[in-house]
Amino acid sequence: MFVLTPPRLADYAASDRIGRLLADETQPGDEAFVSQRWLQESLPKRLMYECIYGDLLGDDGPRRRILDVGGGFCALTRRLLARHDYTLVEISAHDAATALRAVERSVGRQFWIEGDWWAQAGGRPWDVVIANDLFPNVDQRLAMFLEKFLSLAGEIRLSLTYYDEPRFYFARRVQGEEVLCVLAWTGQQTREVLECYLHRAVAFDGKIPTDAVSVFPNGRQVLIARLRGDVST
């Protein structure tokens, strides 16, 4: 469990493995997907991707049952599909459903469950459950997610975004006519949720940094966490 810092970003930039793999795997039309463009345009996002997915992209690891919650689609998703039993649960707020269905046809199998993870995912056990850049900046149900999936997973991998300075957004409800002001989570709020699960943390030195320099232009902090679940793998 660690926070992304400028020294870690500099170490990653020396090889930029995800950037190289992305260039090798990208096919015509992939730029239509927002996650693809984000990875192409942002070195820190490629570092995040390496931290969460890196070991799953190689040819020599075991085949795993993977549930990716809100992960979107990029060219490297094809590598995950080829090497693992991979399922994506995605509302698809950014991309056209027809585009994702077209990818399914091109790879020869359905892998996308359309909808909210709370209603759509669960039931079967998973080796790895991933939520990359979803909690708690986009989805504030972090505690509910952990409660639901720790019993269904061998491991949960998270990248968690929070802000040390107040940051808020105006948003319109999908169902209803209200405009909401949503205050982004702070590091303290994020740590309070994780404190109940620190005994499950992988490679954790006992302290979540509170004064790291952000690697993102908007000042957000990103905590990478791996938690052991209840499923034997």
CA distance 104 to 1: 34
pLDDT band at 93 (very low <50, low <70, confident <90, very high): low
Q: Is the pLDDT of residue 183 over 60?
A: yes
CA torsion 72-74-76-79 (nearest 10°) is 70
Average pLDDT over residues 189-206: 88
Q: For domain 2-228, is the CATH number 1.10.1740.10?
A: no
Q: pLDDT by residue (tens digit) across 66-90?
A: 999 999 999 999 999 999 999 999 9
pLDDT of 155 reads 97
Q: Is the pLDDT of residue 232 over 60?
A: yes
pLDDT of 212 reads 84
Return the domain boundaries, the chain. 2-228
pLDDT band at 91 (very low <50, low <70, confident <90, very high): confident
Helix (H, G, I), strand (E, B) or coil at 227: strand
Average pLDDT over residues 170-191: 90
Average pLDDT over residues 19-42: 95
pLDDT of 160 reads 96
